[in-house]
Structure 1
Amino acid sequence: MSETILIVDDEKEIRDIIEIYLKNEGYKVIHANDGIEALNILKETTVDLVITDIMMKGLDGISLCNEIRKNYYMPIIILSAKDEEKDKLLGLSSGAEDYITKPFSIMELVARVKSQLRRYKRYNNKNDDRVIEIGDLKINCDTRQVFVKDREVTLTSKEFGILELLARNRGIVMSIPKIYETVWGEEFFKADNTVMVHITNLRQKIEEDPKRPVYIKTVWGVGYKI
């Protein structure tokens, strides 16, 4: 079955030209005029990748990325006329995997779409089960619910992302940069302790004794694993 791509842009000409090329590659394409319409589509339709502009009326592209990342993990590519470094950093920090400035090469966009979908498939195919059970820990990846000894635990979006990533790669040590770049979708900076803080909070919620963790183990000098 072909992947479904959502194009979010208030310029019909841009949506149409992207659709022509993506359909030629075998993809199914859906349109949205703005962020609000895009979120409504995501509630009703399974989408494999989102391409969005930034400057739109109503809910703009940055806000759309932030909203998507609260509930979904498909790749996001931003298309924008804003080409300053601060704009690119803002786009990537909002959860987008890629940022392309306008005017752009349509063939380059298609190539980046293919690349992002390949990465997304590799990540998701590591564990096809939508419910992961490890001891008394149960992770429902569809409903984004986590249970410890049948007691539901409330996690933030990033905490869930870290836990799911580690659980899908059970037994494999994941480095801090790898965790950060996968869950946050942006480049990791050496001095950043964001992952460590989230791991500490996550242990407080799922471990019986956070100081002697059963699930999330530290591999000193490398990273973490389940």
Structure 2
Amino acid sequence: MGIRANRVLVVDDERNLVNLLRGYLEREGFEMSEAADGPTAIEEARRFSPEVVVLDWMLPGRDGVEVLRELRRFTDAYVLMLTARSEETDRIVGLSAGADDYVTKPFSPDELVARIRAMLRRPRAGDVEQDPPSEQFGGLVVDGDGRTVKVEGEEAELTAIEFDLLRVLSSRPGFVFSRSRLLERVWGEDYYGSDHVVDVHVANLRRKIEPTPSAPVYVQTVRGVGYRFAREYG
């Protein structure tokens, strides 16, 4: 029995672009499905169960951010947003809604395939060689086996990237991780996008695990360097 190809769902209403990406992805050994509007994208994601979703921002029916928020209700597939918008605030909106990365149009199909491969090579569960099954940090419980997090007994719904980011940080309390090191450990050595994605995902993580996100107890900022997980809580 052969190894199953990684599945990629491309969601875009530009037929020429979809056909171009299909040629590149299938040539590289991926199995690809497609959708041209928001509602179809959600249906196809449920049916196809992709590892990666390439999702255009501007779609008929429902825009990409709406689709992304719905996808995050039932899948932890990596999501790479396609956007013709260059404004930083638009990219932040996509990342804050749960996207893992973004590419601005126009782009090289080779670059897109490279980004997808980098996503699929990302070390899982924080790249910790032997994750303990469960660790408690004050009111925060991180279950490495089940990839779940509870805050004061209530489960927090983290994306795959948010969980991996938390596992890296909490694996060495008190150690200061630079943004570049977090990119390498969580996004993978081949990632070559902006390190601003780290800040956005840290902000998302804080909203889900911190009692007061503006005054974080667990994930602390070290100005000019990066982030560390606290040694003491409360």
The alignment's TM-score, normalised by the length of structure 2, stands at 0.63
In structure 2, the residue matched to 1:63 is 66
- Matched residue SS, 2:39: helix
* RMSD value, Cα: 4.4
Aligned residue in 2 for 1:48: 51
- Say whether the 8 Å CA contact 1:34–1:59 is kept in structure 2: yes
Q: Distance in 2 between matches of 1:37 and 1:96?
A: 19
Matched, 1:26 2:29: yes
- Per mean C-alpha deviation after superposition, the further-off stretch among 31-40 and 49-58 is 31-40
Distance in 1 separating the partners of 2:155 and 2:44? 25
Aligned residue pairs, count: 203
Deviations 1:170-226 (A, max 9, x none): 854486887x9869x93317xx8775564344xxxxxxxxxxxxxx9899x873389
Task: Tell me the distance in 2 between the aligned counterparts of 1:62 and 1:16.
Answer: 23
Q: Greater CA deviation, 72-81 or 8-17?
A: 72-81
Structure 2 gaps, min length 5? 188-195, 212-216
* 89 and 9 in structure 1: CA distance in 2 versus 1, 3 angstrom threshold: same
Matched, 1:187 2:192: no
Aligned to 1:113: 116
> Which moved further from structure 2: 52-61 or 74-83?
74-83
Contact 1:19 1:29 in 2 (8 A): yes
The corresponding residue for 1:38 is 41
The equivalences for 1:164-175 within 5 A come to 166=166, 171-173=171-173
Give the equivalent residue in structure 2 for 1:123. Answer: 124
- 2:163 is aligned with 1:158: no
Structure 2: how far apart are the matches of 1:141 and 1:58? 38
Contact 1:8–1:50 (CA under 8 A) maintained in structure 2:
yes
Residue 8 (1) aligns with residue 16 (2) = no
Counterpart of 1:158 in structure 2: which amino acid? L
1:175 and 1:159, CA in 2 relative to 1: closer, same or farther beyond 3 A? Answer: farther
The verdict on how the C-alpha distance between 1:197 and 1:105 changes in structure 2, with shifts beyond 3 A counting, is closer
Closer, same or farther in 2 for the Cα pair 1:176/1:133, shift >3 Å? Answer: same
* Inter-partner Cα distance in structure 2 for 1:59 and 1:141: 35
2:134 alignment counterpart: 134
Q: Percent identity?
A: 26
Q: Which amino acid aligns with 1:223?
A: R
Work out whether 1:100 is the aligned partner of 2:103.
yes
Tell me by how many angstroms 1:23 deviates.
Answer: 0.4
Letter in 2 for 1:74: A
Alignment pair present for 1:224 and 2:229: yes
Q: Which residue of 2 aligns with 1:211?
A: none
Does the C-alpha gap of structure 1 residues 80 and 154 become closer, same or farther in structure 2, counting only changes over 3 Å?
Answer: same
> What is aligned with 2:209?
199
The TM-score, its normalising length taken from structure 1, stands at: 0.65
